[in-house]
Amino acid sequence: MCGIVGYVGHREASGFLLEGLRRLEYRGYDSAGVAIADQAGHVSICKTTGRIERLASALAGSPLHGSIGIGHTRWATHGAATEGNAHPHVGGEHVVTICHNGVIENYQQLKSRLESEGYVFQSATDTEVIAHLVTECLEKECVDEEGKDSQEPYASLVTAVKAALSQLRGTYGLVLMFRDYPGVILAARLGSPLVLGIGDDEHFIASDASPLAGYADKIVYLSDHQIAVVTADSVQVTHRDHGDVRHSVESLQVKTPAVDLGGYSHYMLKEIYEQPESLKNAMRGRLTEDDATAMFGGLNLTPQQLGGVKRIILTACGTSWHAALLGEYLIEEFARIPVEVEYASELRYRNPPVDPGTLVFAISQSGETADTLGAIREMKRKGHRTLAICNVVGSSIAQEADGGVYLHAGPEIGVASTKAYTSQCMVLALLALYFGRMRHLSVDAGMRIINAFHALPSKVRAALQTEEECKRIAAKYCHANNFLYLGRQYNFPTALEGALKLKEISYIHAEGYPAAEMKHGPIALVDESTPSVFIVPQGFVYDKVMSNIEEVKARGGPVIAVVEHGDTRVAELADDVISVPSVEEFVQPIVSTIPLQLLSYHIALMRGCDVDKPRNLAKSVTVE
Ligand code: AGP
């Protein structure tokens, strides 16, 4: 979703701005732009729709010189994806130039008032009201006495920006440049992340840490309601209500991203193939044979607190929600703790009775998903302990939670989550073992689980060998308009995830169901042109799923089945079979997911879709 960059220092700003925007591409966007001020303070803007490379070509044709600038990738919320709606936006006679992430909920009222006062709007965005509001506050000198009298060179700017922000309802990550103050950028945040990179006589601003790698080795995470005044040689942070604050400077953990595809044609494929390694990384140092359990460094809870957990809530969105669902099955099975899985977007506005002794886990690859962040904030407000399972180190959710577990899956660039999903499943399986061993699970049972975990990366590597078969099946069905994905028990989440992967990147309508639920409605969709993908590993529901396959075949529906090596029964019924290695039932969903990822990938490719950047989607959904 939208990304922000900013630079003030001694080099040409355009270099960092473009590179930073490229590194934020993964978040998803539909247009981009930069504003750069020259030595005389004159601000020029360049904006394009489409990919960053179009912006880069436009800038190559008409370069913008200057050592201070801001840039943005926009994912349309208010107003179509046009050049006019792309950021930066200006207020008044170029008094202020801004880029904004987030949503201003009361923009319509503010816009009407500003228009009645003569401000002319150039775009259909909610952002433009901020530009005009700041201009109004600067021009009308909504500057309190303290601001006017202050010796601080930018005090009146800060006061005007505070006055403008106090009129907004919604969320913002905001960078502002000023016509009459050429050497400074202001950065403000409420509900949408912003970080500052500290260099030598230069400073960088970004909406997450990834653009900073290789440019700065120190980072400042702005908190809500903070406003930073950033010049080439200084950073001053002030709180909306409490005045100046001491900001803490941390070392930047993010390494320069491996942007090359490593010989793969897409990031998604690369990330699918990274799974044996990412699973090892999720487990590394977290299993102890001595106690036949898992261990975690960052939960920040005493053994007494953990022993006293009576209920667990897992909250997430999208693919992470599917991982949570598997987590529910595993934790309840191994640890006998009641678990509920909540859509974060629902939980944040619901008011469920939650007893003391409830532990809330937020699961998020990006750690920036607005709804998931909103949900844990709401749970924290009510006094519950919150833990994060995130991939991105230092992300907002990781920081807000009381503790947590990182996936260590490495950067996931493809918008469709693959390796982060299997790592989330892995971490939840480790937690299930951990809670289980604190309760009734025996040493023997613990060791059996650990052995299954250790075997998993090589089984996943073997499952990747199904690619040619997936490609063949993709060619057969890539023109279908509807798909069903069906699985039971541990593989119900696998069915949901398989369906989501297909629809995200190939735009084919696909639905996932518990296989037996099919009879209660979805079976009406079955015909010769609607393939059903069944996940049918060995296990206690095997025969039940076989009956569900019969039901589809009886209605002429084509069946693609994911089975375990050695299975011969399913092949007698199914039209196409993909065979994966046998593993313990509780880790089978991780293995079975691999061919579903590959199938989606090849179908999308054959339909000519942009696999890594599917239409309308953002990698990190930072608005609600
Ligand atoms: C995954 O393929 C999707 N792009 C999407 O559903 C994603 O899982 C969801 O937006 C949640 O993201 P998060 O894990 O970063 O919070």
Instruction: Pick the atom of ligand 1 nearest to 501's CA.
Output: 2
- In this prediction, residues 456-484 reach a mean pLDDT of 98
Q: Is the pLDDT of residue 314 over 60?
A: yes
Distance 363 CA to ligand 1 centre (A): 10
Catalytic residue IDs: 2, 619
Report the pLDDT value the prediction gives residue 146, as an integer from 0 to 100: 47
Closest Cα to residue 435, out of 550, 548, 338, 555?
A: 338
Distance 406 CA to ligand 1 centre (A): 16
pLDDT band for position 432 (50/70/90)? very high
Q: Is the pLDDT of residue 244 over 90?
A: no
Q: Which residues contact 61 (CB under 8 A, 6 or more apart)?
A: none
Q: Which of 326, 369, 405 to mutate to test the pocket of ligand 1 (most atoms within 8 A of CB)?
A: 369
Q: Which residues contact 48 (CB under 8 A, 6 or more apart)?
A: 31, 32, 33, 54, 55, 58, 83, 86
Instruction: Give the span between the Cα atoms of 460 and 37, in whole angstroms.
Output: 52
Asked if 59 contacts 92 with a C-beta cutoff of 8 angstroms, the reply is: no
Distance 506 CA to ligand 1 centre (A): 16
CA angle 517, 328, 525 (to 5 degrees): 20
Q: Percent of the chain beyond pLDDT 70?
A: 97
Report the pLDDT value the prediction gives residue 259, as an integer from 0 to 100: 55
Instruction: Pick the atom of ligand 1 nearest to 500's CA.
Output: 2
Q: Percent of the chain beyond pLDDT 90?
A: 80
Report the pLDDT value the prediction gives residue 246, as an integer from 0 to 100: 85
Q: Output the residue whose Cα is nearest ligand 1's atom 5.
A: 318
Report the pLDDT value the prediction gives residue 483, as an integer from 0 to 100: 97
- In this prediction, residues 366-389 reach a mean pLDDT of 94
Alpha helices in 25-105 (DSSP H): 52-61
Q: Output the residue whose Cα is nearest ligand 1's atom 13.
A: 364
Report the pLDDT value the prediction gives residue 43, as an integer from 0 to 100: 95
Q: Output the residue whose Cα is nearest ligand 1's atom 16.
A: 364
Residue 605, CA distances (Å) to 268, 275, 480, 519, 544 in order: 11, 21, 14, 32, 34
Q: Is the pLDDT of residue 383 over 70?
A: yes
Distance 245 CA to ligand 1 centre (A): 34
Q: Write out pLDDT tens, residues 491-530.
A: 999 999 999 999 999 999 999 999 999 889 988 999 999 9
Question: Is any ligand 1 atom within 6 A of the Cβ of residue 372?
Answer: yes
Q: Write out pLDDT tens, residues 175-193.
A: 999 999 999 999 999 988 8
Does 393 or 445 have the greater pLDDT score?
A: 445
Residue 592's Cβ-side half-sphere holds a number of Cα atoms within 13 Å equal to 33
Tokens of 402: 């009381």
Instruction: Pick the atom of ligand 1 nearest to 416's CA.
Output: 2
- In this prediction, residues 201-208 reach a mean pLDDT of 95
Distance 339 CA to ligand 1 centre (A): 21
Strand spans (E) along 323-372:
339-343, 358-364
Report the pLDDT value the prediction gives residue 306, as an integer from 0 to 100: 86
Residue 198's Cβ-side half-sphere holds a number of Cα atoms within 13 Å equal to 17
Instruction: Pick the atom of ligand 1 nearest to 318's CA.
Output: 6
Question: Is any ligand 1 atom within 6 A of the Cβ of residue 101?
Answer: no
Q: Which of 27, 266, 319, 600 to mutate to test the pocket of ligand 1 (most atoms within 8 A of CB)?
A: 319
**Which residues share a beta bridge with 98?**
89, 176
Mean pLDDT of the chain, nearest integer = 93
Instruction: Pick the atom of ligand 1 nearest to 420's CA.
Output: 14
Report the pLDDT value the prediction gives residue 305, as an integer from 0 to 100: 87
Distance 619 CA to ligand 1 centre (A): 7
Question: Is any ligand 1 atom within 6 A of the Cβ of residue 593?
Answer: no
Q: Write out pLDDT tens, residues 328-350.
A: 999 999 999 999 999 999 999 99
Distance 319 CA to ligand 1 centre (A): 5
Distance 401 CA to ligand 1 centre (A): 19
Q: Output the residue whose Cα is nearest ligand 1's atom 9.
A: 318
Report the pLDDT value the prediction gives residue 185, as an integer from 0 to 100: 97
Question: Is any ligand 1 atom within 6 A of the Cβ of residue 424?
Answer: no
Distance 325 CA to ligand 1 centre (A): 14
pLDDT band for position 226 (50/70/90)? very high
Question: Is any ligand 1 atom within 6 A of the Cβ of residue 228?
Answer: no
Q: Is the pLDDT of residue 261 over 90?
A: no
Asked if 232 contacts 6 with a C-beta cutoff of 8 angstroms, the reply is: no
Q: Which of 348, 365, 396, 407 to mutate to test the pocket of ligand 1 (most atoms within 8 A of CB)?
A: 365
Report the pLDDT value the prediction gives residue 393, as an integer from 0 to 100: 83
Q: Is the pLDDT of residue 22 over 70?
A: yes
Question: Is any ligand 1 atom within 6 A of the Cβ of residue 620?
Answer: yes
Report the pLDDT value the prediction gives residue 345, as an integer from 0 to 100: 95
Report the pLDDT value the prediction gives residue 157, as an integer from 0 to 100: 94
Domains and CATH numbers, the chain: 3-253 (3.60.20.10), 267-606 (3.40.50.10490)
Question: Is any ligand 1 atom within 6 A of the Cβ of residue 390?
Answer: no
Residue 230, CA distances (Å) to 14, 176, 236 in order: 17, 10, 7
- The strands making up 385-390's β-sheet, listed across from edge to edge, are 339-343, 311-316, 358-364, 385-390, 403-406
Q: Output the residue whose Cα is nearest ligand 1's atom 10.
A: 318
Q: Which of 320, 389, 503 to mutate to test the pocket of ligand 1 (most atoms within 8 A of CB)?
A: 320
